[in-house]
């Protein structure tokens, strides 16, 4: 399986008054096609920033970000917009910024740049809603949906372009264990059926349990906690208070 995402030595900080506050320090990771990788961290540890950097929405201060072999840093706006339209899907808890029916929201990225015909856009929107089990939500508004329906519609709009890379930002936090397990099963099916690589940001290890690799924030760096793609246990520096994860290869 080819790599769809590669971060090498990524640093990112933000100006807070007269100070530069570091958020990511020397972060490196990879995601391959049909692979699910999790990043675990508490609120404000940098999970969302990491996903925005991976999506090209935020530029790193240092380091390399490659999606499908294309270096995002330094791309012209037009070329970056093309990569965002076709190669990257981002699902977060924010929902639509416009008042729209869900069929229009799911098709928003497909309409940008007019890179698909109207008929193909309609087919992809219907396919995405059906795949996520929310076809009945097509003519509903965001506020009319349950939390679980909102999560699935978010995933539908992210996969409608059939991206190489799916980024999921803490989408299932607070939905309960049953919905967390169901969401993890959905992500596994999407990775297999769409053929994309998946990078998810989560707040706890329970949500990350089925993933191929699990990273955890230790201050502003990432520590590898589990790797189910290899028989070898990773050599890790454990964050304080975190037990070493037992490594078991997931059955094929």
Domain that holds residue 220: 1-45+53-87+165-231
Dist. CA 46–CA 12, nearest whole Å: 9
- Per the structure, the count of domains in the chain is 2
Is 244 within the bounds of a domain?
Answer: no
- pLDDT tens for the chain, residues 1 to 252: 689 999 999 999 998 888 888 999 999 999 999 999 999 998 888 999 999 999 999 999 999 999 999 999 888 888 988 888 889 999 998 888 778 899 999 998 888 766 678 899 999 999 999 999 999 999 999 999 999 999 999 999 999 999 999 999 988 777 888 888 899 899 999 999 989 999 999 988 888 878 999 999 998 999 999 998 865 444 444 444 444 443 434 443
Residue 9 resides in a domain: yes
Same domain, 151 and 199: no
Kindly report the pTM of this predicted structure: 0.87
Nearest-Å Rg of the Cα atoms of the chain is 18
Whether residues 150 and 181 share a domain: the answer is no
Q: Are residues 150 and 103 in the same domain?
A: yes
State whether 170 and 82 are in the same domain: yes
Task: Based on the fold, state whether residues 136 and 198 are members of the same structural domain.
Answer: no
Cα–Cα–Cα angle for 110, 130, 145, rounded to 5 degrees: 85
Mark out the alpha helices in the chain (DSSP H runs): 47-55, 77-86, 102-106, 108-111, 118-131, 147-159, 177-194, 205-208
Out of 162, 179, 210, a domain closes at 162
Q: Are residues 175 and 204 in the same domain?
A: yes
Say what the pLDDT of residue 14 is.
92
């Amino acid at each position: 399986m080819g790599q769809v995402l590669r971060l090498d030595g990524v640093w990112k900080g933000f100006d807070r008054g007269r100070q530069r506050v570091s958020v990511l320090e020397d972060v490196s990771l990879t995601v391959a096609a049909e692979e699910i990788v999790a990043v675990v961290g508490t609120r404000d540890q940098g999970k969302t920033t990491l996903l925005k950097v991976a999506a090209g929405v935020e530029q790193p201060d240092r380091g390399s970000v490659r999606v499908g072999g294309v270096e995002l840093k330094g791309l012209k706006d037009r070329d970056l917009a093309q990569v965002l339209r076709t190669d990257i899907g981002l699902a977060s808890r924010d929902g639509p910024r416009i008042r729209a029916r869900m069929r229009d929201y799911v098709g928003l990225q497909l309409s940008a740049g007019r890179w698909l015909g109207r008929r193909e856009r309609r087919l992809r929107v219907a396919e995405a809603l059906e795949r996520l089990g929310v076809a009945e939500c097509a003519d509903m508004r965001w506020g009319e949906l349950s939390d679980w329906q909102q999560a699935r519609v978010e995933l539908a709009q992210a996969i409608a372009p059939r991206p190489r890379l799916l980024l999921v930002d803490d989408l299932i936090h607070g939905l309960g264990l049953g919905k967390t397990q169901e969401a993890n099963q959905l992500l596994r099916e999407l990775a297999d059926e769409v053929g994309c690589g998946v990078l998810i940001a989560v707040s706890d290890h329970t949500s990350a349990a089925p993933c191929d690799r699990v990273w955890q924030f230790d201050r502003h760096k990432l520590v590898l906690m589990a790797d189910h793609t290899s028989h070898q246990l990773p050599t890790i520096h454990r964050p304080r208070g975190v037990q070493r994860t037992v490594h078991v290869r997931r059955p094929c």
